[in-house]
Chain A
Amino acid sequence: MTTLKRLLHNLPGPFFPVLVPALLTALLTAGCGTAPSSARDGFFFDTVVRIRVNSKDADDILDQCFRRMGEYELIFSTENKNSELYRVNHRTEQTLTISDDLAACLSQSLDYCELTSGRFDVTICPVSELWDFHAEEPAVPPEERLRDALSRVDYRTVHLSGNTLSFDSPDTMIDLGAAAKGYISRELAKLIGDLGCGSALISLGGNVRAVGRKSAGKSWNVGIQKPFSARGELIGTVSAEDCCVISSGTYERCFVSGGKLYHHVLDTSTGYPCDTWTDQVTVIGEDDCLCDIIATVSLIIGREETGKLLRESGADVSLFYVDGDGNYTALDMDGT
């Protein structure tokens, strides 16, 4: 500051009016392209959420995002007794009117139940409830109970028309665990865009959504977790710009019992974890909800079926998987 004062002091009078605007321009140009960056963490849906926003209104945008996230928790949580989905699952009437958010997410999920003929099934809830992966000593549920629960699993007994949801059977329950996080990150990205911000990064329990770029010439850099390795150990990174990067694998929510790995992706015909073709798939695309669903669906149905499904459904996504040698490979859409 001393130098500045001295410079100003030494300047001949007439130059002063020129100098001030010139300095202001210099200051403004220097700040351009590096909009203030602000990040906030929170806990929702039994997972950690981090949103980073590059904007002069970062605090306000983050406030609105976290408020919205609280609202979504009160819609999609299967455990929160005050949530809409909990009320749906513990209903007394078999026909209900549900919110737009729940209807949209459920509708997209039901499409994939249909496309996979029930190998992916949103009514898996009674079975998934028996598997407590967070327990201090997780245990394999008794076969009899799994069989009982399986008899309640059938997406064809759920009918959604607009906002009207009806059930054929009173003990059918819905689990949107494979779609809700994707739905939420997609809607948060929209919200951030609507608030006039073009640069943000959402990380919702391992689902990553990039809004715009990190800075003028730089995409967001998203690491892919290496399966069965220390958190933060990466198998690769991808550049992301206005897309989501969603990884799902058998290394998350799992336990080992009797030398066997039990993971959270369940087989709708047995109630046990399904035999997956890879430890992890990563789906990249513009529709987070779709990508989230496809990540789980792909683990269940296998490589060839995934290729076929993506071709036939015309889903605009790219899918990567970890092959037997631990390499990160793009799925050939021919399914070969």
Chain B
Amino acid sequence: MKKGDIILISAILVLAAAVLLLSGRSADGARLVVTVDGELFGSYSLGEDREIRIGSSNICVIRDGEVSMSEADCPDRVCVRSKPIRREGETIVCLPNRVILSITGEDGVDAPDAIAG
């Protein structure tokens, strides 16, 4: 095998590995995406604990990589009673205020892709 062949093969291997790594994971892991009435309100890293005021109607909290709705002025308060979310595809919905919290980014190992019921 010539020296050139070895370099060629190595180059392909290195690049393929790099492409696989880059396409397999997002740059900064899972993120919280907040939308109001279908419009993007904001996108936040789950890595940093914080409180997010969503207009005057809802407040959500990121703590220890989990997101929950801490306050809402809607009558049913289904969103506040929702289980905290952290895995890709999980959502919390405040239907009356049309607020959706969803997790994007890293694919959860066995998180459900949707929930029936």
Q: Give A residues with C-beta under 8 Å from B.
A: 3-4, 7-8, 10-12, 14-15, 18-19, 22-23, 26-27, 29-31, 34, 39, 41-43, 46-48, 50, 52, 134, 136, 201, 203, 206-208, 214, 220-225, 227, 230-234, 237, 245-249, 252, 280, 282
Interface string of B75-86 (1 = CB under 8 A from A): 110110111010
Q: Is the CB of A245 within 8 A of B81?
A: no
Q: Is the CB of B16 within 8 A of A19?
A: no
B83 — nearest CB in chain A belongs to which residue?
A: A232
Q: What separation, in Å, do the CA atoms of A41 and B116 have in the docked complex?
A: 16
Q: Which 6 A-B pairs have the closest CB atoms?
A: A225-B117, A223-B112, A247-B117, A232-B83, A231-B82, A26-B16
Tell me the residues in window 74-117 of chain B with beta carbons closer than 8 Å to chain A beta carbons: 75-76, 78-79, 81-83, 85, 89-93, 95, 98, 100, 102, 104, 110-117
Interface string of B19-45 (1 = CB under 8 A from A): 110010000000000010110000000
Q: What separation, in Å, do the CA atoms of A232 and B112 have in the docked complex?
A: 10
Q: What separation, in Å, do the CA atoms of A23 and B7 have in the docked complex?
A: 13
Q: Is the CB of B35 within 8 A of A206?
A: no
Indicate whether A245 sits within 8 Å of B116 (C-beta atoms), given known contacts A11-B4, A41-B102, A232-B85: yes
A49 — nearest CB in chain B belongs to which residue?
A: B38
Q: Is the CB of B116 within 8 A of A224?
A: yes
Q: Is the CB of B114 within 8 A of A42?
A: no
A249 — nearest CB in chain B belongs to which residue?
A: B117
What are 20 pairs between A and B in contact, CB < 8 Å?
Answer: A4-B15, A15-B7, A18-B8, A22-B12, A23-B15, A26-B15, A26-B19, A29-B16, A30-B19, A39-B104, A41-B35, A134-B75, A136-B75, A222-B114, A230-B82, A231-B83, A232-B90, A233-B83, A245-B116, A282-B116
Q: Is the CB of B78 within 8 A of A231?
A: yes
Interface size class of B (residues with CB under 8 A): 35 or more
B95 — nearest CB in chain A belongs to which residue?
A: A48
Q: What separation, in Å, do the CA atoms of A29 and B91 have in the docked complex?
A: 32
Q: Is the CB of B4 within 8 A of A27?
A: no
Q: What separation, in Å, do the CA atoms of A178 and B100 have in the docked complex?
A: 25
Q: Is the CB of A247 within 8 A of B83?
A: no
Indicate whether A43 sits within 8 Å of B37 (C-beta atoms), given known contacts A23-B15, A27-B19, A230-B83: yes
Contact of A207 among B15, B100, B116 (CB under 8 A): B116
